Each structure stands twice: as structure tokens, then as C-alpha cells.
Structure 1
Amino acid sequence: MSADVDGGLQAPYEIEFPFERTVGPVVGTFLAGLREKRLFGARTERGTVVCPPPEFDPVTGKELSELVELEPVGAVESWTWVRRRAGDPVDVDFAWALIAVDGAEGTFFHALDVGGDPARIRRGLRVRARWAEERRGVLSDLRCFEPEDNDE
């Protein structure tokens, strides 16, 4: 605790709102797919595919139920570089990026690992999913995206 300018006391605190929710058929199928190294999007009435799949079309608000499997690859649209912290999905500094998944409209916000080198990132960089070794049907099963040419 510390005294502020007015003589009052201050103490740091963290507010949490832990809760559980059933995920439903759309998000449930998406998460089950991640467990199996599969990426799904939802087809809209307009014929487009949204990934990750929402329960409702972001344009029309209509319920979505048709799921489409997508290749877990895409291109970087935008990013922000961050310093690694405990609990982050990768072990080096990385980017939070908007990934345009091939075959889907919009972007997927996820971690992008370029080995700690921000100079490797550019708009249009081709990326692929890197899967967690142990998967449980949660978003972190898709550990991050990485450049497709990472093997070179």
C-alpha cells in the first residue's frame, strides 16, 4: 500500500470474473477441430467463410451452422510487436497478428512467431499454423502461426 497525493491509501488489485460457458455446436466443432489439427470456418448466406467461425454472421446477424474446413495457412495483414511475458504462446518476443486465412474473409487474431526477429514480418508474409504438442480442444491448441518458409 502507498499514500497518494491526497493522503488516501492505494493498493494494487486485479479484478477477475471467472465463468464457464457451453460453446455450442459452431464453436464446439471449431475447438474439436483444433484438437485434431484442423481449422474450420463458417459459411455465410452470402457465400463467404468466416474464421474463426462465429455463431452469427457479422454482417447480417443470421445464425451460422455450415462449417467448412480450411487449410491452416494464410497471410499477415497487420501486426504489433510485443515482448514475451510469462504465459505467452511462444518463448521469444513475437507479434500479435491479423492473419487472413486462405479461403476466409476477414482475419484471425493470433500469435505470430518469427524467431524473435521483427524484421522478418511484412504484410503478405505467408504463414502456417503451428500446433501444440498436446491438444485439448482449446484455442491454444493452435499455438501460433509461423512463416511457411520457417524450415529453410
Structure 2
Amino acid sequence: MPESDVLIAPLVIEYPFSRTTGPVIGAFFTALREGFVVGVRAADGRVIVPPVEYDPVTAEELTEIVEVGDAGVVTSWCWVAEPLDGQPLDGPFAWALITLDGADTPMLHAVDTGGDPARMATGMRVRARWRPVRPEGEDPDADDGVRYREGHILDIECFEPEESGAGTAGGAH
């Protein structure tokens, strides 16, 4: 077939909609931006963190938002000796299931022990290390190289062992 006989039909694939996070997940992300953590209370009284919209056992809709602590206990963990691109820390760290104070379910997050796997243990206490808050009046589009809180799970940069004395307070709310 000669080139002039080739039919061309341009196609642009678009997704002209946006998705809202909803009242439960939206409350979780808003709390993270403000420097604290929330979960949701199930009908049986369990507090689930991160919150879900429906009870994983009964499928009942969940709406009662509950504040929990930004520290907790490691229930399980694995060591990452050589982090991959896109992981939350550049040096060796642990992925851990952490049950925050006031929660009944663990959440997955990174734990920074300064690269020392001997400082990691099941049952140890850890505390959130928060991203800084963007200074008042600073242009949100300015790139100063600092990652500020924005309502994202990585507003908690990682967790750190409590006995290290490291970590910063989450902030007022």
C-alpha cells in the first residue's frame, strides 16, 4: 500500500475526572498534614489505622474518626540493606508493621535506625519523624529542596526508635 493511502486516526487517551478521597481517607490525609494520626472505630470497638471506609470483617460502613498516637510498637519487621529508588530512605532501614498507641491494627512504614539492624527488634517502641511544616507565606511552588507536609503518608518521613531520643513532635492541632 503506498504511503499516501495509509489511514491515520489520532487518538488521545484522557481521564477527564478527579477522585476525591472521601471523608475517611480525607480525614487521615488532613491529619497527617497537620502532624497527627487518625484511625476509624469499627462496630466492635477496634480502632483501624490507616482508616478504611468499610469494616474488613463485617463490611459495615465506618465513619467514627479517632485520634491515635504517633508512637507505637513494632509487631513485625524486615531489614532493607540496599534501598531501591523511590523508597522512603536512602540508607539501610526496616519496613515494619507498627501498632500505634490507641490503635488495634498495625500500619506499614519505614523505621530509621541509622543503618544499624541491631537497633531493630520486635516489640520495640518507635516514634514518627515528621516532615517540616511549610513556613507561613512561603510560595508553595518554590523549590527549596525541602519536602514539606502535604497530606500524604510520607508526611511521616519514617519512624525512629524511642530510646534514641530522636524524632520531633508532630505539631499542634
Q: Do both share a fold (TM > 0.5)?
A: yes
Q: Which of 135, 141, 144 does residue 155 from structure 2 map onto?
A: 141
CA distance in 2, matches of 1:143, 1:61: 32
1:123 and 1:36 mapped to 2: Cα distance? 29
- 1:47-126 pair list within 5 angstroms: 47-82=45-80, 83-126=82-125
Distance, in Å, in 2 between the alignment partners of 1:149 and 1:35 is 26
Q: What residue identity is the alignment partner of 1:61?
A: A
Q: 1:91 offset after TM fit, Å?
A: 2.8
Match of 1:36 among 34, 50, 74: 34
Q: Do the aligned partners of residues 47 and 79 (structure 1) sit closer, same or farther apart at CA in structure 2, a change above 3 Å counting?
A: same
**SS of the residue aligned with 2:129?**
strand
Deviation by residue 1:29-77 (Cα, 9 ceiling, x = unmatched) = 1000000111001011111101110111111111110101111110001
Matched pairs, number = 135
Quote the residue 2:144 is aligned against.
Answer: none
Secondary structure of the residue aligned to 1:67 is strand
Residues 67-119 of structure 1 show CA distances to partners (whole Å, capped at 9, x for unaligned) of: 01111110001111112233221231101110011111121011111110111
Distance 2:26 2:149 in 1: 14
Distance 2:110 2:62 in 1: 26
Radius of gyration: which is bigger? 2
RMSD: 1.7
State the AA in 1 paired with 2:99. A
Unaligned runs of 5+ in 1: 1-17
